[in-house]
Copies of this chain bind each other. A is one copy, B any other.
Amino acid sequence: MMDTSVSVFRTPIKHCRNCGADVVYRVPDDGDTRERAVCPACDTIHYENPLNVVGTVPHWGDKVLLCKRNIEPRWGKWTLPAGFMELNETARDGAARETDEEAGAKFEMEDLIAVLSVPRVGQVHMYWRAKLLSDQFDPGHETIEARLFTEEEIPWDEIAFKTVYETLKCYFADRREGRAGIVHTIDIV
């Protein structure tokens, strides 16, 4: 339920969150080595750090659940249920929350399948396997359609994000080769 475009987080900070004064980007005087938005009026240092996207690979027999996006970016493309992790939740609980919100699925959370770094946009994506308990879905307003696909049926050219593509490839490869409990760590550079 949070805008998944990246730009809103990555526009430069103009004003201090504490006092409203104009900030300047410079290396702070505290031993830091990176430029931060520093407030010349009240000395507040504004740190900007990567965001976590958490989601699931919901599976039903030999099929996985994909959601057709009703929001930008990548409107109309297919994705796994996922979204930005919030404060006051674990990564796993965030993944479950997004699966509920975007697909309205009934499921049981299983184990972590992939941790993917995407430094270009300052994100880390984490996906858990989730066992579907029903093949009926009730997608939220961010989803045009939620549908089950076998590996062969997946619209590989219409997948919204590289992280989703890679996670799906890992899921089906593990399944084919009878591997369980593997966590894939992937850097998308």
Contact = CB atoms under 8 A, between A and B. Distances in A.
B111 A3 contact: no
Interface in A1-48: 1-3, 8-9, 11, 13-22, 30-34, 45-48
Q: Count the copies.
A: 2
Contacts of A52: 49-50, 52, 124
A51 interface: yes
Contacts of A21: 20
Q: Is the interface of A mostly helix, strand, loop or mixed?
A: loop
A117 B122 CA distance: 19
Interface of A: 1-3, 8-9, 11, 13-22, 30-34, 45-52, 84-93, 111-112, 115, 117, 119, 122, 124, 126, 141, 181-183, 185, 187, 189
A16 B15 contact: yes
Contacts of A48: 87
Given A32-B2, A34-B86, A15 B17 contact: yes
Given A17-B13, A126-B115, A45 B1 contact: no
A103 B62 CA distance: 47
A17 B9 CA distance: 11
